[in-house]
Homo-oligomer: A and B are copies of this chain.
């Protein structure tokens, strides 16, 4: 799984939320591509942008939700890079990739509903991105929204970190096995980073527990399948 995060934020250095997300990035498989840093003059390099997209399985647009949409430079990126023949139409090269949104909201997510202060759901307001993904043949992931980051306490921030890492790199299905595999690979890559011997033993223990659980669940699944087979026979 290779993931490209296309970040658009005109004042990135001032954003605690974006700095937190940047510091939360997994070590492998993720590229952070901040448009306003790469193109301070606003001139997007279409060739370079199109070329780099080939190598990624998952494309993320990450931005503060200004006026129910992205900052201008990301819109410019869409209009310059996502041309007919590359992004859609015959010869479209994005088909089969995954597409997701990471939105930083200035108000609480519960305001995004009928009767809330914003009046519409995030699913409604992000239809232009859903339609874009559909036109490009990309699988649209559920949106990852972060509300009022500066008011989150430490435990909520830790939960956010895990959820964000999963959004970036975990297989996009709901199975327990996928979640386990993701945790195991995270633990294994932890083991490589210079941990103390005690911590390494803890990590190895956690991996062993996960594997035991998996074997046990596989046995149960096999037994269930046998029982179903007997019933059908």
Interface residues of A (CB under 8 A from B): 42, 66-73, 75-76, 78-79, 82, 118-120, 124-125, 127-128, 130-132, 134-135
| Copy count, this protein chain | 2
CB distance from A205 to the nearest CB of B (A): 49
CB distance from A9 to the nearest CB of B (A): 12
Q: Are A72 and B75 in contact (CB under 8 A)?
A: yes
Contact of A132 among B42, B68, B135 (CB under 8 A): B68
Residue ID in chain B nearest A73 by CB atoms: B72
A contact patch SS: helix
Q: Which B residues lie within 8 Å of A130 (CB)?
A: 120
Roughly how many angstroms separate A42 CA and B76 CA in the complex, as a whole number? Answer: 12
Residue ID in chain B nearest A65 by CB atoms: B128
Given A67-B82, A120-B127, A124-B124, 11 new contacts (CB under 8 A): A66-B79, A67-B78, A67-B79, A68-B128, A69-B128, A70-B75, A72-B72, A119-B134, A120-B131, A125-B131, A127-B127
Contact of A125 among B42, B75, B127 (CB under 8 A): B127
